[in-house]
Structure 1
């Protein structure tokens, strides 16, 4: 059974998808998060002049959940909430009780198109985000005269145990490939792999989406495959295709 390294927090969905296709999974979390600006976020959620809410990361959803009060923020029940992917839609429903749009968008660029299609000029959106956010959504919407009020609600940092985890992984029975889930995670992992002799950096590199793939390439590494959608099944398909092509050549 091939061993796949997933650089993310443990996930039953990903574990099951790979196990069902005869792959063993190993999860390594390269990131840690610190939630900030809770009072500022609460004050903005009480304002009535927003037309909607944009939540593009699981951590932003978690940040809201820490201050969320359904009775206090009932005004958001009638506003549009946008996110990227089915998993985030489910998380928003579970933690905030809100229905979200954008389940099929897949990335920030496509989500921007959906928001532009749904909303008129001079609309205004609250955008809780991280300190390493992409500017794709703010720049695209603002170019069409839609206001985006970005408030940083969490900071992304390198997991203090990352080097130790990578060294343990390098000393374990050989993984067949590594899968990356964020540009910042790519950077932290790449930097740590330069600090000790290892075989990990020679493994095939896969990415959950295009922004992560571009980061891997910018760091001077080759991409073996990119998931067609940010979903476990799509990622498994990408990995399977690569090894099928390699073993068939």
Structure 2
């Protein structure tokens, strides 16, 4: 059956996207349509902070894009050598927190040792941080996107863990989103299942999906990558057929395959 994945392709991964691959192994044909576009900002400020590890108690990354921003700083200013020689080791003496495997893999490529790879959400990660960290540390540094949720900053603030955030990328709707969705429906018809990967994906896509699906929307099995996205879908009145137990390609493909049986 046809499955529509409303997500960005995995950056830097050669070969097939893992979600398309996993769904194919379950006998389903998946198509990917990118929902978001990203613009990096404040990279000079980010660069300054990256090279002052002594001023921070650790690092927090909750998205692959934030790690990409760090990579851009190291490459743009040709500071990779200085980073490799001394700076990354100073950071590694502190805690480097991440959400999810994709972010953890990118953090490792910077030579950093991530903690929290198996935390699927900011809620779970914030509990880990509160348990591990003292309230009298220098602030943890959190480079993030313009539409981050306030779950993690709020939890840390309420528990007295100091935090400094910096917006390093802005998220907007992908310029070709509506055109790509229309083309998909014209060529392949209404999909058997549609998977959402973020609350912003729900915000940007749902109206178009409803319009294109018409009365057939009742037959679509809607899938969520995790609890935050599921909440956003439910809030919009969607009936969520399934959610991935963990935010991985394997778990989502298994959930969709079960829902389509």
C-alpha change, 1:90 and 1:19, in structure 2 (3 Å) is: same
CA distance in 2, matches of 1:87, 1:167: 30
Aligned to 1:57: 63
Q: What is the alpha-carbon distance in structure 2 between the residues aligned to residue 29 and residue 197 of structure 1? A: 17
Change in 2 beyond 3 A, CA 1:229/1:204: same
1:114 aligns with 2:128: yes
- Is structure 2 residue 84 aligned with structure 1 residue 67? no
* Number of residue pairs the alignment of both structures matches: 241
Q: 1:243: Cα distance to partner?
A: 2.0
Question: TM-score, length-normalised on structure 1?
Answer: 0.91
How do residues 94-109 of structure 1 correspond to structure 2 at under 5 angstroms? 94=109, 96-109=110-123
Q: Does 1:35 align with 2:35?
A: no
Question: Are 1:232 and 2:232 matched, yes or no?
Answer: no
Q: Counterpart in 1 of 2:203?
A: 187
Match among 143, 147, 154 for residue 132 of structure 1 = 147
- For 1:212, the equivalent position in structure 2 comes to 229
Which residue of the partner structure matches residue 101 of structure 2?
A: 86
Taking the aligned partners of 1:31 and 1:191, their CA distance within structure 2 comes to: 15
SS in 2 for 1:116: helix
Query: 1:5: which partner in 2?
Result: 4
**Per-residue Cα deviation, 1:91-122 (whole angstroms, up to 9, x for no partner):** 1112x121101111111111111111211112
1:15 aligns with 2:25: no
Quote the residue 2:14 is aligned against: none
- Separation of aligned partners in 2, 1:43 and 1:173: 49
Distance 2:212 2:153 in 1: 41
Q: Secondary structure at the match of 2:251?
A: helix
Indicate the SS of the match to 2:55. Answer: coil
Output the CA distance in 1 between the equivalents of 2:253 and 2:171.
Answer: 27
1:224 partner SS = strand
**Following the alignment from structure 1 to structure 2, what is the Cα–Cα distance between the partners of residues 122 and 241?**
48
The structural deviation recorded for 1:39 is 0.8
The alignment yields a C-alpha RMSD, in angstroms, of 1.6
* CA displacement, residues 166-189 of structure 1 (integer Å, 9 cap, x when unaligned): 101111223211001011111000
The Cα shift of 1:36 comes to 0.3
Residue 190 of structure 1: SS of its match in structure 2? helix
Structure whose residues are more often helix by fraction: 2
Q: Residue 198 and residue 242 in structure 1: after superposition, are their counterparts in 2 closer, same or farther (change >3 A)?
A: closer
Aligned counterpart for 2:239 among listed residues 216, 222, 228: 222
Match of 1:247 in 2: none
Per the TM alignment, residue 197 of structure 1 is displaced from its structure 2 partner at its CA by: 4.3
8 Å Cα contact 2:47/2:73 also seen in 1: yes
